[in-house]
A and B are shown apart, each in its own frame.
Chain A
């Protein structure tokens, strides 16, 4: 039996935090309203962070708070106060990119410090620079290959956290100012406009080199189902899923899939990889590949001629309550569905099961055929018990 690494999931709000933990994450990383990248994904004020931490700790799990911007001079106001508040709330660690934030945190608090992927740490000497200065863990650059990771692990003196799933920067993280230049939005303070995903024309000496195909730099998302076994063998400390802006369905599906895979691999059970690949596809809203896992990327890791995001509408409802006596579930609509649809149930710790929806009514008891309104609360009859936070979705069609 191999030691299990931590499964670390993202959450943009309290609901996603709870979903991630209930669906199998060992830890969740979140951003506050200040000092965090992905500013549009950061909905946690201090009281939310405290509620999240209490929820996690009751489950024996952890919360990390990102403080990963590169602050300009005026942005440092309130940092010490904020870090001390996080310490009072007992967050388990902060994730920092700036040497200023690391220095302030280590001087004024006893918070555990993780160094962000924004530092683009790619070798053990760079890692050990931070390890000597009290950093407990580093989030490796996504450009590190599996082969490099094997060597790096032997010589690094900090815990290693590796991305396994989600969106990828095309530039080395923390080094890109495309957004700053093109849109005035600061990529290193949470404003990245994803300029790397736009369409361009390519020129040499004034002549266009691309004829009909726009030049693109966009990357497919990272998906590492086939590489989890190797990562367990290497002994990486934490496996990280990216996606604080992603939906609860995405988080639930991705976390649950990797949770089950890690557990089976750690228990030396023969793993049905195609089953996991199919399961992870149900959350996919952008084509995915293996990033730098196998070495330098090639054409198969890039996106061309396609809309970058292809939103899925398969997630149709969240279960709020279940009455075992009446066998009825109170659900909240998230995408349109109707009576007669086949519905798949996603539930932590269980394989998906499907049933045909025979009855549908409003919370007031009015029978209806169709559920078109987002967040509408509805009652359905189910052939088997459901639990709060179970998710209903349309069966996957290849």
Chain B
């Protein structure tokens, strides 16, 4: 089972020495909810090329939602990597515009579909297999049972978000700014790009929230950890995404090393993850379907 680990400008040098199967890097205008993205320019691409020459496999996170004016940036990305001849293992995408551009530029086989909530059953995987892409990332609210069912006859290798803060919500609206505009704060922009928390009236959880250039993002209160389930997941999943958003670099490096050890069957200090949870692995959400019959 592959370990794909998110890396930013600050962490890439440390992480490239670890025995992971790939580093996922972001570009500020194309990636969302990623720590320390690179700028989309020739210098960054050349830097990544240098890193790649150390035998590091590179994945790129292009998970933005793109409006019409944003489309040229996707073209710029493909032109830059083609010009630099940057070898990429994978391109994680959410917006179908990336698929269209990738297809035009000959990168379909690198694509990993990562819409966060849309890949929820085996037929989704079959559909994407027909599109000749590399993999899909299963929806973040899949139970272990669902993962197994999807994996049973999957024609595509499957990828799973296995560690980190699961995103719950992305709005294009600048909800922090508009709130402080309403309360007539002196500077409604002062909390942009800062980690805040929201707490609902009757619930105890504090949910991280960030407003940035892409809008407002809210995350689950506790990060997901998958150490307990690696033996099970090994049978079903080809690659695990380990995400570093909100972690200090040193802590994230420890997490990555723990996954490397755990995958080798070594014991890790589980108490380090007492403040994590198991996401939706055992939490099936409510849906009641009625079988619809003619005449009734």
Are the CB atoms of A125 and B100 closer together than 8 Å?
Answer: yes
The answer to the question of B49 belonging to the interface, with a C-beta cut-off of 8 Å to chain A, is no
Chain A residues contacting B57 (CB-CB under 8 Å) are: none
The answer to the question of A210 belonging to the interface, with a C-beta cut-off of 8 Å to chain B, is yes
Chain A stretch 162-190: residues in CB contact (< 8 A) with chain B: 170-172, 174-178, 180-182, 184-186, 188-190
The answer to the question of A203 belonging to the interface, with a C-beta cut-off of 8 Å to chain B, is yes
Are the CB atoms of B168 and A216 closer together than 8 Å?
Answer: no
The answer to the question of B2 belonging to the interface, with a C-beta cut-off of 8 Å to chain A, is no
Q: How far is the CA of A215 from the CA of B120 in the complex (A)?
A: 32
Given the contacts A126-B95, A191-B285, A103 and B169 also touching, CB distance less than 8 Å: no
Smallest CB separation, A252 vs chain B (Å): 28
Identify the interface centre among B150, B280, B287: most chain A CB within 10 Å of its CB.
B287
Are the CB atoms of A297 and B198 closer together than 8 Å?
Answer: no
Chain A residues contacting B172 (CB-CB under 8 Å) are: 143, 172, 292, 296-297
Interface mask (B198-225 → A, CB under 8 Å = 1, otherwise 0): 1111010110010000001010100000
Smallest CB separation, B209 vs chain A (Å): 8
**Closest A residue, CB atoms, query B183:** A213
Total chain B interface residues with beta-carbon distance under 8 A: 78
Are the CB atoms of B99 and A129 closer together than 8 Å?
Answer: yes
B67 contacts which of A76, A148, A184, A204 (Cβ < 8 Å)? A148
Q: How far is the CA of A145 from the CA of B69 in the complex (A)?
A: 11
Query: Lowest 7 A-B CB distances belong to which pairs?
Result: A100-B123, A125-B97, A186-B285, A189-B287, A126-B96, A73-B149, A129-B96
**B interface with A by C-beta (< 8 Å):** 65-71, 95-97, 99-101, 115-118, 120-124, 126-128, 130, 139-142, 146, 149-150, 166, 168-176, 178-179, 181-183, 191, 194-201, 203, 205-206, 209, 216, 218, 220, 280, 283, 285-296
> Can you spell out 30 A-B residue pairs with CB atoms less than 8 angstroms apart?
A32-B292, A46-B295, A46-B296, A47-B294, A70-B117, A70-B118, A71-B120, A72-B120, A73-B146, A73-B150, A78-B289, A100-B126, A103-B126, A122-B65, A122-B95, A123-B68, A125-B96, A129-B99, A143-B67, A148-B68, A170-B175, A177-B140, A184-B283, A186-B141, A189-B285, A191-B285, A202-B179, A204-B197, A213-B182, A217-B175
**A interface with B by C-beta (< 8 Å):** 32-35, 39, 45-47, 69-76, 78, 82, 85, 97-100, 102-104, 119-126, 128-130, 143-145, 148, 151-152, 170-172, 174-178, 180-182, 184-186, 188-191, 195-196, 198-204, 209-211, 213-217, 219, 292, 296-299, 301-302, 304
